[in-house]
Amino acid sequence: MASITKLPSGAYRVQIRRKGRYASETFLRRDDAHRWARQAETRVDQGLAPNKSSVSRLQTFGDLIDLHITDMCEVGKPPRRSKAATLTTLKRDLGKERIGHLDRQKLIDYGKMRADQGAGPVTLGIDIGVIKMIITHAAAVHGLDISPEPVDLARVALKRLGLIGKGTERDRRPTTDELNRLFRCFDDNERLTLPMTRIVKFAVATAMRLDEICRVAWTDLDVDRRMLMIRDRKDPRNKTGNDQRIPLFAATEFDAWALVTDQAKELGHARGRIFPYNSRSVGTAFRRACVEVRVKDLHFHDLRHEGTSRLFEAGFAIEQVSLVTGHKDWKMLRRYTHIRPEALHRLAASRGPSPLGDLAAE
C-alpha cells in the first residue's frame, strides 16, 4: 500500500512497500503523487520496477519528443537539421496527443493528413520511422509502458494505401543551353552579391552538395596535391567523422582548381570558408534565376547529379567516381548515372579507332 506524506516544504513524498519492494518519489502536486503511486503499484504487480517520477510525469507525445532530444544531447548526439525539422513537425501535429491515445487509427489519420499537405511517400515514411524511434526510446531507455506495435500496424496500412513507399528517382540534368542561360542571368544581375556562376560551376566540377560547398574552409585545402577535405559528409551509417578527400580537377568540363583560385582572388584572402555564404541564400538565388530564364524543374541538388554523370561520361569507373562523390557502393551510386547516349561517341574516340571503321566508310 502506498503512503503519501506532505513535507514541510509543501511537496508530497510517496512511499510504496509491495511484494518485498520499496520505492519512493517526491512530487510538488498531490495529484501527481497519487498517479505515480497507482502506476508504481501496477508495475510492481507485473514484476517490473516502478518508473522514476520524471517518467511518470510524461503525459503527451510532445513530452516523449522532448525526452528523446534531451537524452541525445546528453550523450553528445543532438538532432541534426533534417531530423530536427522532422521532430518539429511531429511535435506541431501530434505533440498534444496523450501517449496512450496515439493508436493505429490516429497514426493512419496523421499519415493521410500529411499526404494531403503534400508530403511524399519518402517523407511520410521518415515521419513514421521517427515516431517509432521516439516510442521505442522511451520504452527501452526509461521503461515506459508503451508499445511500438501500433506504429508498425499503421506503417503497413499506409503502405497499402500507397502513402508510404519509395520516392521517384530524379533524372533531371541541365542542358548546356540551360546552364549558359543561368550563367548570363547571374552575371548580368548587378544586385547579386553572390558569385553564383562560380558556385554552380564548382558544384558540377566536384559533385558536392550545397551545404558542403558553403562549409569547406581554406584549411581543408591541400594546395600541393590539389585536394580538398570534405568533413562529415552525409552518410546514413556514420553521422560524424565521415571525412573524405576529393581531387580538384577539370574532368567535368569545369576546372575545380581554377574556380578555387578565382575565389581566392575575389575574396582577397584565404581565411575562413572558401565560399563564405549562407547555403539558403545560394539556393534562393538559384531558384529565382531558374524562374527568370524559364529553366523548369531544376534543383540545385541536380548539379551533383550532373557532375556525377559527367564523371561517368568521362570514362571513370564506379570505384573512381565514388572517390569524388562519397557514395559507398554501386547501389547508392547508380541513381546518379544517367549517361547521355551521345557521350558514348567521346568514350569510343578516346579508346582509338573502331575495327569497323573501314566498313562504316564504305
Say if CB 50 and CB 39 are below 8 A apart. yes
Does any domain span residue 284? yes
Separation of alpha carbons 249 and 204, rounded Å: 11
Say if CB 11 and CB 28 are below 8 A apart. yes
The confidence score (pLDDT) of residue 19 equals 73
pLDDT tens by residue, the chain, 362 residues: 678 888 888 888 888 777 777 777 777 778 878 877 777 777 767 666 655 555 556 789 998 999 899 888 888 888 887 899 999 999 999 999 998 889 999 999 999 999 999 888 989 999 999 999 999 998 888 777 788 999 999 999 999 999 998 766 678 899 999 999 999 999 999 999 999 999 999 999 999 999 999 999 999 999 999 999 999 887 655 556 688 999 999 999 999 999 999 999 999 999 999 999 999 999 999 999 999 999 999 999 999 999 999 998 888 888 898 889 887 766 667 665 555 666 566 656 666 654 444 434 44
Does any domain span residue 195? yes
Can you list the alpha helix ranges (DSSP code H) found in 143-248?
A: 149-160, 176-188, 196-206, 210-213
In our burial notation (b when 16+ CB lie closer than 10 A, e otherwise), range 281-296 reads: ebbebbeebbeebebe
Last residue of a domain, one of 108, 135, 161: 161
Residue-number span of the structural domain to which 26 is assigned? 2-53
Together in a domain, 338 and 218: yes
Together in a domain, 201 and 331: yes
Together in a domain, 241 and 123: no
Does any domain span residue 359? no
The confidence score (pLDDT) of residue 41 equals 78
Could you tell me the three cell numbers for 138?
522511451
Does any domain span residue 119? yes
Together in a domain, 149 and 125: yes
Together in a domain, 90 and 182: no
Say if CB 313 and CB 184 are below 8 A apart. no
Together in a domain, 39 and 101: no
Does any domain span residue 305? yes
Other beta carbons within 10 angstroms of residue 77's beta carbon come to 11
Say if CB 259 and CB 205 are below 8 A apart. yes
Does any domain span residue 146? yes
Does any domain span residue 199? yes
Last residue of a domain, one of 161, 191, 221: 161
Separation of alpha carbons 101 and 159, rounded Å: 22
Say if CB 77 and CB 42 are below 8 A apart. no
Together in a domain, 201 and 340: yes
Could you tell me the three cell numbers for 15?
512511499
Together in a domain, 15 and 94: no
Q: Looking at the 3D structure of the chain, how many domains does it have?
A: 3
Together in a domain, 40 and 87: no
For 180, phi and psi rounded to 5 degrees? -65, -40
CATH number at residue 330: 1.10.443.10
Together in a domain, 77 and 121: yes
Together in a domain, 29 and 129: no
Last residue of a domain, one of 134, 161, 188: 161
The reported pTM is 0.64
